[in-house]
Amino acid sequence: MYNWHFEVVWDYQGVFYHGALVTAQLTGFAFTIGILGGLLIAFSRLSRFRVVRLPAAFYVEIFRSTPALVQLVWIYYAMPILMGVQLSAFVSVAVGLGLHTIADFGEIFRAGILSIDRGQTDAAKAVGMQYRQTMWRIILPQAVRRMVPPFMNETANLVKLTTLGSILAVYELLHASNNLITTTYRPLEVYSAVAIAFAIIIYPIIYFSRQLEKYWEKKS
Amino acid sequence: MSDPPIIVVRNLKKSFGDLEVLTGINLEISAGEVVVIVGPSGSGKTTLLRCLNFLEEYDSGEVFFDGQLVGYQDKDGRRIRDAEATISSIRAQMGMVFQHFYLWPHKTVLQNVIEGPLVVKKFPQVKAKELGTAMLEKVGLIDKANIYPSKISGGQVQRAAIARALAMEPLALLFDEPTSALDPELVGEVLDVMKQLAREGTTMVVVSHEIGFAREVADRIVMMDEGNIIEQGTPEEFLQNPKQERTRNFLSKVLH
């Protein structure tokens, strides 16, 4: 029978708080980049013009068909050689995950918009509404409700993806834990604590998403 | 029927890929006239209707609404698509009611009705609500004003959709098979509203298989087949003495 010694972990709780903060920062940056860029990508892919549509589609396919880890490493090592800028490991991971999230969020936004019956648009056009009015007042309010579940899923995924930062020695939760193990020799306790820490971060996102869905279900 | 035509269609053609769905339509509709378009499915009725307010872009020919070419303008002898604002302003004067209603499910019945006046005509809230309330009274739905569309019956949804179209105070109303998606017992209440509108002198273009409705209120019935108009006339002429073999065939099927 294994003797658990969680008190060791408890003594080093500061390491987890700091790791969680870095994880939250990475998530926050990537999330913000993902939303703004995702909207741009989604509307570009829905454009009437091929010159706008094609590059956006190309971007999405590139990012969705390569592993996030490869993207991060590539950005970290390629940028100084190709562009002469050395990004810090933290910035590389934040930007890399951001670019990755753009592709995923973009697809969620696009699919959400496309899932709304064309008749909804026709009815808006028929009363004389223009594209922008139709999009903001008729299509997006309906589409957002359908986007929420996959969007929250992807956000939870993004939190998990920040652990890739450990490869570039960014002090997010996983990397902080690996370091802690070298001083405590308590991998089982430390990794268990990391798992719990992630659950504490991610579960509220899932819970919030469910509550929102329930609220909307009741309302319509 | 001396009123000037409000809708003029000249040699209208439209294809979807290789399939020519409108093969050169000519049609004039006067202000105050009620025209019912009938014909077998696939004959191009709905496409014709959707070309009138440019929900469907036509390939050649002309549609004039209130004297204005719909959807295109001539520039140096070439035809180019009109600006979105111009197309929208024409659509705003032409109400449309759809087979599948298309009320906006995230808005209440009243919000559906006042959306156009608020957003397109920029009416202030109070004025829009007054107008919306009046329109809901007209279609007998005032007690459903603050309810979401998913909570009312199909017939009520379609009446709300008619109120939404009326709230823009359009010069003409287009109906695309407004009762085809309804349970039989709900058809009557929608047709009653439409009959009332017809009697009030509303200009109406109605694609429908409701021959009884056509007989009662239509000024003219237009028969379409294979992308064109093959026969038209007053309900008496058309229903009692159809000239075309295809019309007789069609009527025998829908009148049974």
**Mean pLDDT for chain B?**
95
Q: Helix, strand, coil shares of chain A as percentages rounded to 5?
A: 85, 0, 15
B170 touches chain A (CB under 8 A): no
Please give the average pLDDT of every successive group of 10 residues along chain A, which has 220 residues: 88 91 95 96 94 97 94 91 89 95 97 96 98 96 92 95 92 91 92 93 92 84
ipTM computed for the complex = 0.94
pLDDT of residue B22: 97
Q: Is A219–B53 a contact, with Cβ atoms under 8 angstroms apart?
A: no
Question: Quick one: three-class SS letters along A82-112?
Answer: HCCCCCCHHHHHHHHHHHHHHHHHHHHHHHH
For residue A64, give how far its alpha carbon lies from the nearest alpha carbon of chain B (Å). 33
pLDDT of residue A83: 87
Q: What is the pLDDT of residue A218?
A: 81
Task: Please say if the pLDDT value at position B2 is more than 60.
Answer: no
Model pLDDT, residue B74: 85
Tell me which residues of chain B, numbers 180 to 199, contact chain A at a CB-CB cutoff of 8 Å: none
What tokens appear for A62 in the block?
Answer: 């590139």
Nearest to B94 by CA among B171, B158, B6: B171
State how beta strands B220-225 and B34-38 pair.
parallel
Scanning A138-157 for CB atoms below 8 A from B yields 138, 141-142, 145
What is the structure's pLDDT at A104? 96
pLDDT tens digit string along B187-238?
999 999 999 999 999 999 999 999 999 999 999 999 999 999 999 999 999 9
Cβ density class A52-69: b for 16+ within 10 Å, e for less: eeeebbebbeebeeeebe
3-class DSSP assignment, residue B229:
strand
pLDDT on residue B256: 67
CB pairs under 8 A between A and B: 71
Whole-prediction pTM: 0.86
User: For residue B10, which phi and psi values (nearest 5 degrees)?
Assistant: -125, 120
Query: Two tokens at A173?
Result: 């939760």
Fold of A7-219: MetI-like fold (1.10.3720)
Across the interface, which of B85, B96, B100 has its CB nearest the CB of A126? B96
Give yes or no for a contact between B217 and B34, defined as CB atoms under 8 angstroms apart. Answer: yes
Distance, in angstroms, between B92 CA and closest chain A CA?
4
- A220 in B contact zone (CB under 8 Å): yes
Render pLDDT for B56-113 as a digit per residue (tens, 0 to 9): 999 999 999 999 999 999 888 899 999 999 999 999 999 999 999 999 999 999 999 9
> For residue A169, what pLDDT is reported?
86
Identify the pLDDT of residue B76. 86
Cα separation, B102 vs A101, whole angstroms: 34
| pLDDT, position A217 | 82
Q: Which residues from chain B sit within 8 angstroms of residue A123, using beta carbons?
A: 96, 98, 102-104, 161, 164
Phi-psi region of A76 (alpha: psi -120 to 50; beta: other; left: phi over 0): alpha
Residue B4 has what pLDDT? 77
